[in-house]
Structure 1
Amino acid sequence: MQQPTRLQDEAARLLARLGVDAALYGEGERAVRTPLTGETIGRVRDASAEEARDLIRKAHEAFLQWRRVPAPRRGEFVRLLGEELRAVKDDLGRLVTIEVGKVPSEGLGEVQEMIDICDFAVGLSRQLYGLTMGSERADHRMQEQWHPAGVVGVISAFNFPVAVWSWNAALAFVSGDAVVWKPSEKTPLTALAVQALTRRVIERFEEAPEHLSVLLLGDRATGEALVDDGRVPVLSATGSTAMGRAVGQRVAARFGRAILELGGNNASIVTPSADLDLALRAIAFGAVGTAGQRCTTLRRLFVHESVYDTLLPRLKRVYSTVSIGNPLDGDVLVGPLFEEAGFRAMEAALEAARAAGGTVHEGARVTEGLPEAAFYVRPALVEMPRQAGPMLVETFAPILYVVTYRELDEAIALQNGVAAGLSSSIFTTDMREADRFLSALGSDCGIANVNMGSSGAEIGGAFGGEKETGGGRESGSDAWKAYMRRQTNAINYGYAMPLAQGVRFDIADEDEGSADA
């Protein structure tokens, strides 16, 4: 029998402390590998399509009970979930680092996002407001109500294995919905941990039905069972644009509602008046953080020609000195790419950039002192003569393309000239430039920042983008409305029956004579 490795042992200890039964990750047909070393740290069993349908049925039955619970009580359930997360933050954050490869502060930051969205949702549970509208008919009142939608399906990606679930689940729970979660098949261990702590809250909370939160482990077939099930009126999917295009069409075919969080080919603009010290720090984190594997990663940089020769040498120094390595073994800023496919995509993009006239700085694989089965790379900085070739598509790796510009409108057009529309930013101390960038004539992205990078969104604002990013919104602001159904009510408190728009419909009544309908 093969002896467990150090990371396999540590993952098992963390999972045990987080309350996960060893039988759930000790055997199964699917191997779970850590990008830190490439080794197997667990094995899980996929749910069959039949099992998936049965669990969705149970979640639907749970919804029928949960919708009866008053919203503030549902908020109390989410408050307890946040308390569980606070208690396990260190362990769950560490597990995120092991399973995904994030540096420890980012693993902890992901769990903090979960805690923050629970806090947001608790307050929201007393603010699920509808509107009251004036009626054109005498003695009438109009209003809207928001009711629970049903079962909410969540399909999440490997790069944020637990936070994306919480953005959806916390809002869904306070909205009165049950949740069925299909995590990435590549990151099931963190999902098992989150499900275990959610189960603990369900067991403590008297009004919570057993299957309020359901976990489906599996591959594409399992995801398709969730996507196609008519008992799931709302489906949130995070991943590639190709995946979202397929999911969106299938959900629409059954008249479901899709919340799509897809690709992001994000850009920043550096103007002549920019604070270059501030810009440098923001650009570095946005472009190389999480090894370029965030949907909000900075991938394109448009620098005014007057400051290009000042900023670029400083960026090159950062790229040549940034620390690369196993996040568990030292104080490093950039961990590994998640898998070999990401490395191959990076190699292909850099070759395409060279063919398009680009000059590539850094970008090589780092192997010294690191496991051969893991994929560590130096982030790449690419000077391009113009926006072309690989700049027009998202490569999920740490590549930053840099182009000069002369006029702000030119830079905005370049930024907007790609298919995705997630995040964007501008560095300027000119108020007119900042406001133009934020206006209808400026960024066409769902997120537009001033004097900060494209990455690092807070849960208080709605998160999502336009165009091929999918158009969905999650997390803060009024994103909760996507998890509920709107009902418009008209109430007649008078004794006549006037119709809207002045329509008349008179009927004869044998007992009362003529009634004006």
Structure 2
Amino acid sequence: MAIATVNPATGETLKTFQALDADEVEARLARAAEAFETHRTTGFPERARLLRRAADLLEGDAEEVARVITTEMGKPLPAAAAEVAKCVKTMRWYADHAQALLADEKPYAFDVEDAGASRAFVRYRPMGVVLAVMPWNFPLWQVVRFAAPALMAGNVGLLKHASNVPQTALYLDDLFRRAGYPPGCFQTLLVGSSAIESVLRDERVAAATLTGSEPAGRSVAAIAGDEIMKTVLELGGSDPFVVMPSAELSEAVRTAVTARVQNAGQSCIAAKRFIVHSDVYEEFAARFTERMAALRVGDPMAEGTDVGPLSSEQGRADLEELVEDATAQGATTLCGGRRPPHLERGWYYEPTVLADITPSMRIHREEAFGPVATLYRVADLDEAIAVANDTPFGLSSNAWTNDAAEQERLIADLRAGGVYFNGMTASHPGMPFGGTKRSGYGRELSGHGIKEFCEVTTVWYGARKSSG
């Protein structure tokens, strides 16, 4: 099986790699299991030294790595550079804080003497070999936000990356090797999706994490469930962006555009559904549409490009189907809705705003993975919350209001893994990240994330009895 880098800006196949055969996969599994037995016994200072070294190397490679990311999946070069910088920051954050995050815990409201013990505490121990099945849209960041905490906890990692970013996957394999990690601590499995099940079912694999589509999550979760294996899933999202009358409208509009078209709209946590109170709807819609239409679509390597191509021809076709279904059922196209006529090569799509959305349209319930925004007019906060929650997804949410009572209501009632007020949903190493409903389960980042792949271990010392 061949795994290729295809430039989405041109459709040209640039490099082709041969997938690993079964013997090589077996060899890497064996190395991972062996490496865990050593890596789990290293102290936090040594783990931190290794991770800081990897961060330093990545920082030195930043320009080259950013160009590889842009070439493989199409995001504008400045966005790729920002992704690299975020990875460096997160690696250093975990190197600095993992020991404190995983320190032994005194049980809450637990009386040792009353329980007949001399001492008791909770310790977090690493689980073992963790398989990471990762997507192409943030090909470095998605991996690092798993790898940094997992390695600091004493686990080892196997990466099955998306097949359209093989150079990024191989770079990550090489990065941790150059940083001095023992062989087997982090390895890339350059294989197709059909090879995942056999790896998951291998008794040497202790856990799995997946970021990707709902079908991919269902498949991995089903196999892992059959094996009684711990999993963390971060799946699709169709995040609401609620705008109420008390919002600072200029800032809301500016942020709304960024939140929708970042990464050409190919982000699970991108704002996708813009739910606007009728008192400010007309002004918001006009200003939002004007800014979306003014974005520059083009070569992601070129200076001044706002929106690059979609990552694949199929991805663009899927997006076009959603738009065509909506317009056929009465949706109004305020801007975009087509392929840019000046770009004949590559998988580009114009930033698009659709209004008059109804529940019968597929785009109302399905995730639009591209630069397409849907607008909803609502009469009050109750309706805004109802529309926001009318989705199978619940990854995150954005809400623009300066009314404290509205903010408390939104925190209580929005069914999402995060509620971001007067700003754009983003991930940070110090805050937990993950969703509800069909957006998955478990958390990444922060102390919550590093503990996902740890065994929560009760340690108990019996009370000493007097010898008389």
Normalised to the residue count of structure 1, the TM-score between the two structures is 0.86
Alpha-carbon distance, 1:472 to partner: 2.3
Indicate conservation of the 8 Å contact 2:357/2:364, yes or no. no
Aligned to 2:81: 108
Q: Which amino acid aligns with 2:54?
A: L
Indicate conservation of the 8 Å contact 2:237/2:394, yes or no. yes
Aligned to 1:382: 354
**1:367 to 1:46, Cα distance in 2 relative to 1, 3 A:** farther
Aligned to 2:417: 446
**1:166 to 1:140, Cα distance in 2 relative to 1, 3 A:** same
1:191 is the counterpart of 2:169: yes
Indicate conservation of the 8 Å contact 1:286/1:298, yes or no. yes
What's the CA shift string for 1:386-413, capped at 9, x where partnerless? 4442211112121111111112122112
Count of residue pairs brought into register by the alignment: 461
Q: Distance in 2 between matches of 1:176 and 1:262?
A: 26
Alpha-carbon distance, 1:447 to partner: 1.6
Q: Distance in 2 between matches of 1:129 and 1:198?
A: 25
2:281 aligns with one of 291, 308, 321: 308
1:427 is the counterpart of 2:400: yes
Q: Distance in 1 between matches of 2:118 and 2:44?
A: 28
Alpha-carbon distance, 1:101 to partner: 0.6
With a CA cutoff of 8 Å and minimum separation of 6, indicate the structure with the bigger relative contact order: 2
Aligned to 1:148: 126
1:176 aligns with one of 132, 154, 162: 154
Alpha-carbon distance, 1:453 to partner: 2.5
Indicate conservation of the 8 Å contact 1:74/1:125, yes or no. no
Q: Which amino acid aligns with 1:218?
A: V
Aligned to 2:436: 466
Q: Distance in 2 between matches of 1:490 and 1:445?
A: 38
1:99 is the counterpart of 2:69: no
1:487 is the counterpart of 2:454: no
Indicate conservation of the 8 Å contact 1:156/1:239, yes or no. yes
1:270-309 paired onto structure 2 within 5 Å: 270-309=243-282
Q: Distance in 2 between matches of 1:265 and 1:250?
A: 26
Q: Secondary structure at the match of 1:114?
A: helix
Alpha-carbon distance, 1:255 to partner: 1.1
Alpha-carbon distance, 1:126 to partner: 2.1
Indicate conservation of the 8 Å contact 1:32/1:188, yes or no. yes
Alpha-carbon distance, 1:31 to partner: 2.7
Q: Distance in 2 between matches of 1:219 and 1:313?
A: 45
Alpha-carbon distance, 1:129 to partner: 1.9
Alpha-carbon distance, 1:330 to partner: 3.1
What's the CA shift string for 1:255-276, capped at 9, x where partnerless? 1111111000111100011111
What's the CA shift string for 1:343-391, capped at 9, x where partnerless? 11111101111233211231210141x342x111111100025444221
Alpha-carbon distance, 1:178 to partner: 1.0
Q: Secondary structure at the match of 1:464?
A: coil
1:112-511 paired onto structure 2 within 5 Å: 112-127=85-100, 128-133=102-107, 134-135=111-112, 136-202=114-180, 208-361=181-334, 362-368=336-342, 370-372=343-345, 374-389=346-361, 390-439=363-412, 442-454=413-425, 456-495=426-465
Indicate conservation of the 8 Å contact 2:277/2:377, yes or no. yes
Larger radius of gyration, structure 1 or 2?
1
**1:346 to 1:58, Cα distance in 2 relative to 1, 3 A:** same
Indicate conservation of the 8 Å contact 1:151/1:177, yes or no. yes
What's the CA shift string for 1:466-510, capped at 9, x where partnerless? 11111121122421101211110221132189xxxxxxxxxxxxx
Q: Distance in 2 between matches of 1:489 and 1:82?
A: 34
Q: Which amino acid aligns with 1:58?
A: R
- The runs of 4+ residues in structure 1 deviating greater than 6 Å are none
Identity over aligned pairs, percent: 28
Q: Distance in 2 between matches of 1:55 and 1:477?
A: 29
Q: Is 476-485 or 385-394 further displaced after alignment? A: 385-394
Indicate conservation of the 8 Å contact 1:113/1:459, yes or no. no
Normalised to the residue count of structure 2, the TM-score between the two structures is 0.95
Q: Mind listing any 5+ residue stretches in structure 1 that lack a counterpart?
A: 1-27, 203-207, 498-511, 513-517
Q: Is 190-199 or 462-471 further displaced after alignment? A: 190-199
What's the CA shift string for 1:97-129, capped at 9, x where partnerless? 111111112101111121111111112232112
**1:496 to 1:37, Cα distance in 2 relative to 1, 3 A:** farther
Indicate conservation of the 8 Å contact 2:139/2:168, yes or no. yes
Alpha-carbon distance, 1:419 to partner: 0.7
Q: Distance in 1 between matches of 2:370 and 2:64?
A: 27
Q: Distance in 1 between matches of 2:117 and 2:414?
A: 46
Q: Which amino acid aligns with 1:451?
A: N
Q: Which amino acid aligns with 2:48?
A: G
Q: Mind listing any 5+ residue stretches in structure 2 that lack a counterpart?
A: none
Indicate conservation of the 8 Å contact 1:121/1:171, yes or no. yes
Q: Secondary structure at the match of 1:423?
A: coil
Q: Distance in 1 between matches of 2:360 and 2:380?
A: 19
Q: Distance in 1 between matches of 2:351 and 2:73?
A: 18
Q: Which amino acid aligns with 1:458?
A: H
Q: Secondary structure at the match of 2:333?
A: strand
Indicate conservation of the 8 Å contact 1:72/1:125, yes or no. no
Alpha-carbon distance, 1:143 to partner: 1.0
Q: Distance in 2 between matches of 1:130 and 1:173?
A: 18
Indicate conservation of the 8 Å contact 2:4/2:166, yes or no. no
